[in-house]
C-alpha cells in the first residue's frame, strides 16, 4: 500500500444491489480486477496468471523484456517486465500485443505444396521434406551450387539463424544467402567494420540518459523505438536534443533543435558540421592523436564544406548550421544516434561514417553518454550480424580469409573445404541473378520480400521466374508465400526458445510460452529435419536443441570482440535480464552498462579507428518537372511492424493506424495539385503508382511527401538504388507526381 | 565451387530417406511447454506491484479534499504518440478485442511556415457535470462523492446509448454484442490500492498522471470564463471535463485536429427513426381526432402508431428486458421524461381508441383532447432529449421545429387520407397539408446556409452537416425533398380535384399524399441522425 490511499481506502465501496439499481452482476464482474501476484499489481480476474515468465519481445531491436502471464498452461496476457534492464516495465503497443498474432487465423498449420493444378495443397512433413530435398538437389545438380540461394531474416533466433546458415552453406553447399537485415542495417555494418574494424555498435541504452547533447540523424525514436525515447526523457541533464530529419516528426517536435535538411543531403550536412568543429578547434586532439588515423585527410576534405556551401546543399540556414555545430562542440557527453534515414540511402555508409567521424574527432566515444550509435531495426538483426553466416562468416569473420575458415571448421568439427571461400551475393544481387536466370531456386525464411523489397512490382515478376520457391513462415498468406511452390509452416515468436541480440548488444532469452498451431514447427526443427533429409544429419549431430547450439555459438565467439563465452547458459540470461557482449569467460560478472572502446583501442589491426570520408554523390532520382515531389518513406506508427503480417492481426492495433495507405502532403502542394484533405491522390513514380488518402499536414515540407512503408503499395514506387558499399536499398527518396484521383 | 564441397548424398537424389521418427520427435517437442516451468520458478509471488516505484510520483499524495476530485493530467510536451496507453488499457483491463478506453489524436498547425504538432492522448474526462450521468434514464452512472470518478454500472445499463449522444468526448462505447456501453473508471480499484491506472503506469514518457482538481473553480473557469480546454475540441461548457492538458510551450493559435476534414455519416439508428416518426404520427392523429366527425379512425390510428413506435424503440435497446427501470432518471434525464410521458400518452391513446370503438356513445372527445395534450408533451420531451445533447444540429430550434413539424404534416395527412369529409373540409385540409409540407421542407433547407463559399466549412458542426447533406448523403437528401415535395403536390392536386369534379381522384391523391409525406418524414428523420457531426476530440490519421 502506498501513500495516503492506504489510509482512506480510496473510493467508497459499491452499495449493495437493490431492485432498482444493480451495482454488480455478471456484466460488472467481467471487468473485475484482482491482485495478480508475481509483482504484477491488479490484473483482470479472468486472466489471473498461475505462473509468469520473462521473454524478450520479438518485434524490434530494442529488445524489451515482457512478462508472459500463463494460466492453465496457456499464455493469456502479458505486461512489460519491470526488472528487465532495457524497458523498465514499459512497452510500445506492439509489445503489449505480442501474443495476439499467435492466434491469427492466417497461420500456416501444415506444409503446402503447389499441385499440378497450380494450387497450394496440404501435404505431410515427410512429403514436404522429400520435395524440398529432391527439388533443391535437382536444381543444384543441373545448374551448380550457385543456382540456389536463401533469403533469411532478423526475426528468428540466433540459434536458428546459425543453423540455417551452417546447413545451407556447409551442408547443402549453397554459396549465396542474405537476409532482410540487408534492408535495415547493412549500412551500419559496413560503416562500423571499416571505421572500427568490427561491426560493433559501442553503446548502452543508458547512454541516452547520460548525454548532455543527443543528436538523432534520420531517426524517429518516438515512433520507431518508443522505449528508447522513454530513456531519453529519463535523462536528468536537460540535454540539448538535435534532430536531423526532413520531416517535422514526433521526435523533431520534442527536440530542442530541428535541422530540417533536404532529403539525402546528410553527407553535406555532417561534413559541414565537421568543418565548423575543426575550424573552431572544438576537437579532442589527444584522442585523435592517440587513437585514430586519417584525420589530416579528413581535415583537408572538409575544407570545401563551408557553411554557405552546405546551406546551399541542405536548404538549411548557415547560421543555424553553425549554431548546431557549436552545440555539439560544447557538449561534454555527446551521443550520436542514427537509424534508417541514414542506413537506407544511396550514400548511407559514408554518411554513417561521417557521424562516426564527428564522435571520434570530439572524443565522444567510450565514455558514458557518448558514441556513434546505430539503432538497428529487427529484434535479432544484431544476432544475424554475428551468426547468420551470410555476409560474414560466423562470429564476424570473413569467408575470404583462410585462417577464419579453418577456425570455424575446427570449432564446428567440419572439413574447412566445406566453407565457401567466396562472399555471398547481396540481396539485390541475388534478385538480379534470379532475374538473369542464374539462380533457379530460392528458400525464403521469415521475411516477406514481395511486399518489402524496393520496387516490388519488379520483384514479383522476378519471383515468377524461379523453378522452385520455398517459403518458410508462420503465415500461409503473406505476399511471398502466395507465390511459393512449397510453404513450410513455422512456429512463431513465443512458440520456441532461443536468443536475440538487441541494439545495445544484449543477448536476451526468448521463451516458448505457447504451442504452435497444427503441424507448424520451429525454424530450428525445420532446418534440423531438412538436414536429416539432405543426408547431413551427422554433420549436425551436436545441433540438438537451441541451447546446445547456443553453446556452439559461444565457442564461435571465443577471443573475438563479440566474445560471449562468459554467458553460462540460458538460465544465466534469464536471471540477469540478458547480458551484453562482450562477456568473455573469466571476466567476472557482466557489467550493468557495457560500453565498447573505453580504452580507446579499436578492432583494426593497428587498434586505431579510421576517419573515412568520400565524395557526396547526387540523389539517384531527383525531382524533375514530370515527377516534382520527393517521396519519403518510413514507419507510420508504433503500432505497425514492417509488412504488417503480425501487427495486422491485432484488432486493437488496427485501431491505431489508418487501414488504407495514405500520403502526407504539405498544404502548399495540396493546393498546387488540387488535393483535398482526406481526398484520394494518385501517387506515381517511374515504376508504378498507387492511390492513397491525402493527409494534408505541415509536417512534411512543400516538395516532399511521405508514405509509411507498411502498406503493400508503397514499394511499387521506390527507386531501386543502393549504397555501393553496403548494397542496402535507398528506400527513403524517389521522385513522384501527385494528382487528385476522384472521390 | 569445387565438387569437393558437395554433400555426402548430393549425387543420389533417389535416396531421399524417411525420417518419420525425427518428424514425430519435432512435433512432440512442439506440443511440450515444460521449458516455461523450468524458468518460471524464479518469479515469486509478491504483494506490491513491482512497477510502483516508477509510477508512485504520478499519483496524488492524498485523497481529494472536499470540493476536489481526481483528474487525469496530460503533458502535451511529453506525449510522443506511441499509443502504449491504448493497448495497456485494453490488456490490463481485459477488454474486448477492439476495445480500449483511450485513444490518441493529433493536433497540428495549419500554418505550414511554422510546423508544429502535438499528439493527444484522451480518455474519459470524469467531468464535473457529466453528460452521460445526467442523461442516463436508469441511473447507470455514478459519480463517486469522494474521488469524483464517473463510473458506469454495467448491470444497470439498458443499452439505450443516450450517454453516447450526451458525451462530447465519445467516451461511452456501445458493444452490440453485450448490449451495454462500457467506459473508463480511471481504474478506480487500482487507485484504491495505490496502483496507477493502466494508462498511467504504461506511458513510457510519463505523460499521464492523476492530479487533484478543484471542482467548483473548474466549473467556473469553463462556464463562467472562457478558459481553454484543448484546441479544436468540443467546448468544455457542456460537461466541464476535469482532464488537464498542460504544455510549457505556447500552442500556435491555428492548431487543427488531425482528422479535421474527415466527415462521415453518423449511425442511422433506424429504430429511433421509427420511434420518432410513428410517435409524432400518433400525436398528430390524436390531435386531429377531436375535430373529426368520426373520431374512431384517428383514435385507433394513434393507438396503433404509438404502440408501434414504442415497440420500434425497444429494438433500439441493448437490454430491453431491463428497460422498465427507464423512469428512474426523471429528475434529470429527458430520456426518462420521454418514456414516462409517452407511457401516459400510449395508455391514454389506447384507452381512447378502445372507448371510441367499444362505446361509441361515450363522450370521448375530452379524453382525446387530454391524450393529445399528453402526446404533445411527449413530443416536447423527444425534442428536448436531442436538444439536451451537445450536438448543434440537434439544437432546440431544429429538434422542436422538425418534430412538431412532423406532428403537423402527419396530423393533417392522416385524417385527409383516411376519412370522409365535406368537400370544403377536404379542400381546406389538402391546402393546409400542401402548405405545411412546403414550410417544413423550407425549414429543413435552412441548413444550406452553413455551406461555405465554394465548399463546406468543415470546422463547424453545422458546416459539416451541410457538407454531408450535399455530399455523402446527397442521394438521401434529394429523396427526402422529392418525397416531401411530391407529398405536398399530391395534397395540392387533391385540393384541386376536390374543387373540380373528380372527388374520387382527389381521395386517391390524398392517400398518395399521406404515403409520400410519411416516407418523406422517415427520410427526414434518417437524415436527422446520419447528418449530425458533433465536435469531437482531435483524431489522428486513422479513420
Nearest-angstrom CA–CA distance, A86 and A500: 13
Angle at the Cα of B105 (from A234 to A261), degrees rounded to 5? Answer: 65
- Phi, psi for residue A235 in degrees, rounded to 5: -65, 120
Cβ B44–A38 below 8 Å, yes or no?
yes
Nearest-angstrom CA–CA distance, A21 and A23: 6
Question: Residue A375 in contact with residue A228, Cβ under 8 Å?
Answer: yes
Cβ B50–A90 below 8 Å, yes or no?
no
Q: What is the mean pLDDT of residues A164-193?
A: 94
Question: Residue B219 in contact with residue B190, Cβ under 8 Å?
Answer: no
Q: What is the DSSP letter of B353?
A: H
Tell the burial category of B200 from Cβ atoms under 10 Å away from its Cβ (0-12, 13-18, 19+): buried
Cβ–Cβ contacts within 10 Å for residue B445, how many?
A: 12
Rounded to two decimals, the pTM is 0.92
Q: Estimate to the nearest angstrom the gap between the alpha carbon of B270 and the chain centroid.
A: 13
Query: How far apart are the CA of A284 and the nearest CA of chain B, in angstroms?
Result: 34
A279 close to B (CB below 8 A): no
Nearest-angstrom CA–CA distance, A384 and A377: 12
Which of A23, A33, A41 is the best mutation test for B, with the most CBs of B within 10 A? A41
Which of A85, A100, A656, A703 is the best mutation test for B, with the most CBs of B within 10 A? A656
Nearest-angstrom CA–CA distance, A522 and A417: 30
Among B5, B40, B543, the residue with its CB nearest the CB of A173 is B5
What's the Cα-to-Cα distance from A468 to each of A137, A138, A149, A458, A504, rounded to whole Å? Answer: 11, 10, 11, 18, 38
Query: How far apart are the CA of A493 and the nearest CA of chain B, in angstroms?
Result: 13
Lowest mean pLDDT among A217-221, A711-715, B177-181: A711-715
- Phi, psi for residue B53 in degrees, rounded to 5: -60, -25
Whole-number pLDDT of residue A453: 80
Cβ B39–A571 below 8 Å, yes or no?
yes
Q: What residues in B contact A638, CB-CB < 8 Å?
A: 81-84
Question: Residue B137 in contact with residue B337, Cβ under 8 Å?
Answer: no
Nearest-Cα residue of chain B relative to residue A640: B82
Whole-number pLDDT of residue B454: 52
Cβ A140–B10 below 8 Å, yes or no?
yes
Among A89, A534, A702, the residue with its CB nearest the CB of B54 is A89
Question: Residue B166 in contact with residue B135, Cβ under 8 Å?
Answer: yes
Q: What is the percent of chain A where pLDDT is above 70?
A: 98
Q: What residues in A contact B79, CB-CB < 8 Å?
A: none
Q: What percent helix, strand, coil does chain A show, rounded to 5? A: 35, 20, 45
Q: What is the 3-state secondary structure (H, E, C) of B470-526?
A: HCCCHHHHHHHHHHHHHHHHHHHHHHHHHHCCCHHHHHHHHHHHHHHHHHHHHHHHH
Cβ A52–B100 below 8 Å, yes or no?
no
pLDDT confidence bin for A209, thresholds 50/70/90: very high
Cβ A662–B541 below 8 Å, yes or no?
yes
Among A12, A124, A571, the residue with its CB nearest the CB of B144 is A12
Among B94, B114, B325, the residue with its CB nearest the CB of A31 is B94
Nearest-angstrom CA–CA distance, A591 and A600: 18
Cβ–Cβ contacts within 10 Å for residue A102, how many?
A: 21
Cβ B84–A248 below 8 Å, yes or no?
no
Which of B18, B80, B455 is the best mutation test for A, with the most CBs of A within 10 A? B80
Mention every residue, 6+ apart, whose C-beta is less than 8 A from residue B280: B379, B382, B403, B406, B407, B410, B521
Whole-number pLDDT of residue B456: 55
Cβ B84–A491 below 8 Å, yes or no?
no
Q: What is the mean pLDDT of residues A17-23?
A: 92
pLDDT in tens, chain B (543 residues): 333 443 444 444 444 567 888 999 999 988 887 766 666 655 555 668 889 999 999 999 999 999 999 999 999 999 999 999 999 999 999 999 999 999 999 999 988 888 899 999 999 999 999 999 999 999 999 999 999 999 999 999 999 999 999 999 999 999 999 999 999 999 999 999 999 999 999 999 999 999 999 999 999 999 987 788 999 999 999 999 999 999 999 899 889 998 887 889 999 999 999 999 999 999 999 999 888 878 888 899 999 999 999 999 999 999 999 999 999 999 999 999 999 999 999 999 999 999 888 887 778 888 899 999 999 999 999 999 999 999 999 999 999 999 999 999 999 999 888 876 777 888 889 999 999 999 999 999 999 888 876 555 788 899 999 999 999 999 999 999 999 999 999 999 888 887 776 667 888 899 999 999 999 999 999 999 999 999 999 998 866
Among B10, B154, B205, the residue with its CB nearest the CB of A233 is B205
- What integer best gives the mean pLDDT of chain A? 93
CA-based nearest residue to A368, from A506, A560, A239, A273: A239
How many helices (H) does chain B have, and how many strands (E)?
A: 18, 10
A571 close to B (CB below 8 A): yes
Q: What is the mean pLDDT of residues A257-284?
A: 97
Nearest-angstrom CA–CA distance, A420 and A398: 10
Whole-number pLDDT of residue B450: 86
Mention every residue, 6+ apart, whose C-beta is less than 8 A from residue A608: A291, A292, A293, A602
The residues facing A257 across adjacent strands are A242
Q: Is A675 left (phi over 0), alpha (psi -120 to 50) or beta?
A: beta
Whole-number pLDDT of residue B35: 67
How many helices (H) does chain A have, and how many strands (E)?
A: 27, 28
Among A41, A534, A537, the residue with its CB nearest the CB of B49 is A41
Q: What is the DSSP letter of B447?
A: G
A574 close to B (CB below 8 A): yes
CA-based nearest residue to B531, from B269, B277, B275: B269
> Longest C-alpha distance within chain B, in Å?
116
Contacts 24+ apart (CB under 8 A), B502-511: B503/B423, B503/B426, B506/B426, B506/B430, B510/B413, B510/B416, B510/B417, B510/B426, B510/B430, B511/B417
Q: What is the 3-state secondary structure (H, E, C) of B213-228?
A: EEHHHHHHHHHHCCCC
**For the residues of A623-651, what is the DSSP string, one character each?**
--SSS-EEEEEE---TT--TT-TTGGG-H
Nearest-Cα residue of chain B relative to residue A572: B39
pLDDT of A1 > 60? The answer is: no
Cβ B43–A21 below 8 Å, yes or no?
no
Cβ A227–B204 below 8 Å, yes or no?
yes
SS3 A152: strand
Whole-number pLDDT of residue A411: 96
Among B6, B52, B115, the residue with its CB nearest the CB of A2 is B52
SS3 A567: coil
Q: What residues in A contact B319, CB-CB < 8 Å?
A: none
Nearest-angstrom CA–CA distance, A388 and A523: 13
Helical (H) or strand (E) element with A498? strand A495-501
Cβ B4–A536 below 8 Å, yes or no?
no
Whole-number pLDDT of residue A177: 95
Cβ A96–B77 below 8 Å, yes or no?
no
**For the residues of A154-210, what is the DSSP string, one character each?**
SSS-HHHHHHHHHIIIIII---EEEEGGGGTTHHHHHHHHHHHSS------TTHHHH
A16 close to B (CB below 8 A): no
Question: Residue A471 in contact with residue A481, Cβ under 8 Å?
Answer: yes
Cβ B44–A97 below 8 Å, yes or no?
no
The residues facing B120 across adjacent strands are B105
Nearest-angstrom CA–CA distance, B290 and B287: 7
Nearest-angstrom CA–CA distance, A445 and A523: 8
Size of interface A-B (CB pairs under 8 A): 377
Say how many residues make up chain B: 543
- Condensed to tens digits (0 to 9), the pLDDT of residues A343-399 reads 999 999 999 999 999 999 999 999 999 999 999 988 999 999 999 999 999 999 999
Q: What is the percent of chain A where pLDDT is above 90?
A: 83
pLDDT confidence bin for A743, thresholds 50/70/90: low
Q: What residues in B contact A41, CB-CB < 8 Å?
A: 49, 51-52, 190, 195, 201
pLDDT confidence bin for A459, thresholds 50/70/90: confident
Helical (H) or strand (E) element with B210? strand B208-214
Whole-number pLDDT of residue A38: 84
A105 close to B (CB below 8 A): no
Q: List, as ranges, residues 146-165 from A with C-beta within 8 Å of B.
A: 146
CA-based nearest residue to B522, from B286, B209, B279, B311: B279
Nearest-angstrom CA–CA distance, A464 and B445: 59
Cβ A43–B39 below 8 Å, yes or no?
no
Whole-number pLDDT of residue B110: 86
- Condensed to tens digits (0 to 9), the pLDDT of residues A509-525 reads 999 999 999 999 999 99
Whether ipTM exceeds 0.95: no
Among A23, A38, A511, the residue with its CB nearest the CB of B45 is A38
Whole-number pLDDT of residue B417: 87
Among A24, A37, A138, the residue with its CB nearest the CB of B13 is A138
Question: Residue A161 in contact with residue A143, Cβ under 8 Å?
Answer: no
Amino acid at each position: 500500500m502506498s501513500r495516503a490511499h492506504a489510509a482512506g481506502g480510496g473510493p467508497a465501496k459499491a452499495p449493495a444491489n437493490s431492485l432498482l439499481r444493480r451495482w454488480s452482476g455478471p456484466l460488472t464482474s467481467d471487468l473485475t480486477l484482482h491482485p495478480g501476484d508475481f509483482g504484477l499489481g491488479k490484473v483482470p480476474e479472468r486472466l489471473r496468471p498461475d505462473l509468469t515468465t520473462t521473454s524478450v519481445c520479438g518485434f524490434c531491436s530494442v529488445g524489451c523484456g515482457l512478462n508472459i502471464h500463463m494460466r492453465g498452461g496457456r499464455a493469456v496476457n502479458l505486461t512489460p517486465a519491470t526488472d528487465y534492464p532495457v524497458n523498465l516495465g514499459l512497452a510500445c503497443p506492439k509489445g503489449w500485443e505480442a501474443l495476439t498474432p499467435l492466434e491469427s487465423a492466417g497461420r500456416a498449420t501444415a506444409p503446402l505444396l503447389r499441385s499440378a493444378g497450380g494450387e497450394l495443397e496440404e501435404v505431410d512433413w515427410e512429403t514436404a521434406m522429400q520435395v524440398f530435398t529432391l527439388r533443391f538437389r535437382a536444381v543444384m545438380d543441373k545448374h551448380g551450387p550457385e543456382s540456389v540461394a536463401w533469403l533469411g531474416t532478423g526475426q528468428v533466433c540466433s540459434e536458428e539463424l546459425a543453423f540455417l546458415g551452417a546447413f545451407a552453406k556447409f551442408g547443402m553447399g549453397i554459396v549465396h544467402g542474405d537476409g532482410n537485415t540487408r534492408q535495415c542495417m547493412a549500412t551500419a555494418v559496413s560503416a562500423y567494420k571499416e571505421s572500427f574494424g568490427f561491426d560493433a555498435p559501442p553503446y548502452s541504452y543508458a547512454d541516452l540518459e547520460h548525454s548532455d547533447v543527443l543528436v538523432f540523424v534520420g531517426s524517429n525514436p518516438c515512433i520507431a523505438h518508443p522505449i528508447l525515447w522513454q530513456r531519453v526523457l529519463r535523462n536528468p541533464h536537460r540535454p540539448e536534443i538535435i534532430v536531423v530529419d526532413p520531416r517535422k516528426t514526433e521526435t523533431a517536435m520534442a527536440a530542442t533543435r530541428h535541422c530540417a535538411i533536404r532529403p539525402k543531403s546528410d553527407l553535406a550536412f555532417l561534413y559541414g558540421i565537421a568543418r565548423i568543429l575543426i575550424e573552431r578547434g572544438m576537437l579532442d586532439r589527444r584522442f585523435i592523436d592517440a587513437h585514430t588515423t586519417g584525420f589530416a585527410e579528413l581535415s583537408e576534405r572538409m575544407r570545401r564544406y563551408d557553411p554557405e556551401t552546405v546551406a546551399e546543399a541542405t536548404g538549411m540556414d548557415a547560421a543555424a548550421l553553425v549554431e548546431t555545430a557549436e552545440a555539439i562542440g560544447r557538449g561534454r557527453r555527446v551521443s550520436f544516434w542514427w537509424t534508417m534515414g541514414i542506413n537506407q540511402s544511396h550514400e548511407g555508409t559514408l554518411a554513417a561514417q561521417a557521424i562516426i567521424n564527428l564522435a571520434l574527432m570530439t572524443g565522444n566515444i567510450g565514455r558514458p553518454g557518448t558514441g556513434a550509435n546505430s539503432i538497428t531495426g529487427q529484434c535479432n538483426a544484431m544476432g544475424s550480424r554475428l551468426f547468420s553466416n551470410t555476409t560474414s562468416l560466423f562470429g564476424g569473420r570473413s569467408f575470404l580469409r583462410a585462417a577464419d575458415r579453418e577456425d570455424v571448421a575446427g570449432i564446428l568439427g567440419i572439413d574447412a573445404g566445406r566453407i565457401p571461400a567466396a562472399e555471398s551475393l547481396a540481396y539485390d544481387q541475388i534478385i538480379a541473378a534470379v532475374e538473369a536466370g542464374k539462380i533457379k531456386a530460392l528458400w525464403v525464411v521469415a521475411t516477406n520480400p514481395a511486399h518489402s523489397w524496393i520496387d516490388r512490382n519488379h520483384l514479383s515478376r522476378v519471383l515468377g521466374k524461379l523453378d522452385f520457391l520455398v517459403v518458410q513462415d508462420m503465415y500461409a498468406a503473406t505476399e511471398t508465400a502466395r507465390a511459393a511452390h512449397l510453404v513450410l509452416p513455422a512456429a512463431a515468436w513465443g512458440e520456441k526458445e532461443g536468443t536475440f541480440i538487441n541494439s545495445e548488444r544484449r543477448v536476451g532469452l526468448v521463451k516458448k510460452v505457447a504451442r504452435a498451431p497444427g503441424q507448424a514447427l520451429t525454424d530450428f526443427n525445420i532446418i534440423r529435419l531438412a538436414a536429416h533429409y539432405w543426408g547431413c544429419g551427422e554433420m549436425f549431430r551436436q545441433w540438438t536443441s537451441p541451447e546446445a547450439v547456443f553453446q556452439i555459438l559461444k565457442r564461435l565467439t571465443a577471443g573475438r570482440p563479440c566474445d560471449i563465452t562468459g554467458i553460462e547458459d540460458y538460465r544465466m540470461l534469464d536471471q540477469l535480464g540478458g547480458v551484453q557482449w562482450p562477456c568473455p569467460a573469466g571476466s567476472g560478472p557482466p557489467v550493468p552498462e557495457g560500453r565498447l572502446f573505453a580504452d580507446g583501442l579499436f578492432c583494426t589491426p593497428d587498434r586505431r579507428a579510421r576517419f573515412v570520408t568520400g565524395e557526396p554523390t547526387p540523389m539517384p532520382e531527383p525531382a524533375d518537372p514530370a515527377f516534382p515531389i520527393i517521396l519519403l518513406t518510413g514507419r507510420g506508427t508504433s503500432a505497425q511492424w514492417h509488412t504488417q503480417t503480425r501487427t495486422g492481426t491485432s484488432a486493437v492495433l488496427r485501431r491505431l493506424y489508418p487501414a488504407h495507405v495514405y500520403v502526407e502532403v504539405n498544404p502548399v502542394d495540396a493546393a498546387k495539385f488540387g488535393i483535398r484533405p482526406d481526398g484520394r491522390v494518385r501517387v506515381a513514380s517511374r515504376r508504378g503508382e498507387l492511390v492513397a488518402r491525402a493527409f494534408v499536414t505541415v509536417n512534411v515540407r512543400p516538395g516532399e511527401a511521405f508514405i509509411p512503408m507498411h502498406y503493400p503499395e508503397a514499394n511499387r514506387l521506390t527507386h531501386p538504388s543502393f549504397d555501393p558499399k553496403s548494397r542496402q536499398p535507398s528506400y527513403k527518396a524517389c521522385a513522384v507526381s501527385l494528382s487528385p484521383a476522384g472521390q | 565451387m569445387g565438387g569437393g564441397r558437395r554433400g555426402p548424398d548430393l549425387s543420389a537424389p533417389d535416396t531421399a530417406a524417411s525420417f518419420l521418427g525425427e518428424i514425430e520427435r519435432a512435433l512432440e517437442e512442439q506440443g511440450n511447454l515444460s521449458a516455461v516451468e523450468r524458468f518460471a520458478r524464479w518469479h515469486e509471488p509478491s504483494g506490491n506491484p513491482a512497477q510502483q516505484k516508477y509510477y508512485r510520483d504520478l499519483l496524488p499524495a492524498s485523497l481529494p479534499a472536499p470540493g476536489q476530485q481526481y483528474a487525469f493530467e496530460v503533458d502535451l510536451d511529453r506525449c510522443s504518440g506511441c499509443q502504449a496507453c491504448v493497448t495497456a488499457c485494453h490488456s490490463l483491463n481485459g477488454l474486448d478485442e477492439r476495445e480500449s478506453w483511450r485513444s490518441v489524436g493529433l493536433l497540428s498547425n495549419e500554418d505550414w511556415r511554422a510546423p508544429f504538432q502535438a499528439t493527444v492522448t484522451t480518455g474519459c474526462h470524469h467531468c464535473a457535470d457529466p453528460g452521460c450521468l445526467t442523461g442516463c434514464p436508469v441511473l447507470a452512472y455514478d459519480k463517486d462523492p469522494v474521488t469524483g470518478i464517473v463510473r458506469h454500472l454495467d448491470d444497470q445499463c439498458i443499452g439505450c446509448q443516450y450517454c453516447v449522444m450526451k458525451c462530447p468526448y465519445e467516451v461511452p462505447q456501445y458493444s452490440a454484442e453485450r448490449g451495454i456501453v462500457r467506459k473508463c473508471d480511471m481504474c478506480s480499484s487500482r487507485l484504491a490500492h495505490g496502483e496507477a491506472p493502466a494508462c498511467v503506469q504504461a506511458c513510457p514518457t510519463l505523460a499521464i498522471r492523476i492530479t487533484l482538481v478543484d471542482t467548483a473553480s473548474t466549473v467556473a473557469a469553463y462556464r463562467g470564463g472562457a478558459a481553454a480546454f484543448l484546441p479544436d475540441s468540443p467546448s468544455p461548457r457542456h460537461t466541464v471535463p476535469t482532464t488537464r492538458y498542460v504544455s510549457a510551450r505556447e500552442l500556435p493559435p491555428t492548431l487543427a485536429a488531425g482528422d479535421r476534414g474527415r466527415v462521415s455519416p453518423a449511425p442511422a439508428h433506424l429504430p429511433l427513426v421509427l420511434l420518432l416518426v410513428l410517435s409524432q404520427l400518433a400525436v398528430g392523429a390524436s390531435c386531429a381526432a377531436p375535430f373529426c366527425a368520426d373520431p374512431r379512425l384517428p383514435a385507433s390510428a394513434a393507438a396503433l402508431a404509438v404502440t408501434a413506435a414504442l415497440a420500434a424503440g425497444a429494438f433500439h435497446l441493448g437490454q430491453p428486458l431491463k428497460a422498465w427501470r427507464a423512469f428512474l432518471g426523471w429528475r434529470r434525464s429527458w430520456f426518462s421524461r420521454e418514456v414516462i410521458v409517452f407511457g401516459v400518452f400510449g395508455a391514454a391513446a389506447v384507452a381512447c381508441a378502445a372507448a371510441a370503438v367499444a362505446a361509441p356513445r361515450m363522450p370521448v372527445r375530452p379524453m382525446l383532447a387530454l391524450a393529445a395534450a399528453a402526446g404533445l408533451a411527449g413530443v416536447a420531451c423527444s425534442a428536448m432529449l436531442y436538444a439536451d445533447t451537445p450536438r448543434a444540429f440537434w439544437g432546440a430550434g431544429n429538434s422542436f421545429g422538425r418534430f412538431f413539424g412532423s406532428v403537423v404534416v402527419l396530423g393533417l395527412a392522416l385524417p385527409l387520407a383516411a376519412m370522409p369529409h365535406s368537400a370544403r373540409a377536404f379542400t381546406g385540409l389538402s391546402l393546409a397539408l400542401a402548405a405545411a409540407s412546403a414550410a417544413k421542407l423550407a425549414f429543413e433547407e435552412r441548413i444550406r446556409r452553413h455551406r461555405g463559399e465554394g465548399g463546406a466549412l468543415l470546422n463547424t458542426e453545422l458546416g459539416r452537416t451541410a457538407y454531408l447533406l450535399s455530399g455523402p448523403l446527397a442521394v438521401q437528401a434529394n429523396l427526402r425533398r422529392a418525397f416531401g415535395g411530391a407529398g405536398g403536390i399530391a395534397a395540392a392536386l387533391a385540393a384541386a380535384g376536390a374543387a373540380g369534379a373528380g372527388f374520387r381522384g382527389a381521395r386517391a391523391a390524398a392517400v398518395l399524399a399521406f404515403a409520400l409525406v410519411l416516407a418523406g418524414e422517415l427520410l427526414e428523420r434518417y437524415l436527422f441522425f446520419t447528418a449530425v457531426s458533433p465536435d469531437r476530440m482531435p483524431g489522428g490519421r486513422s479513420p
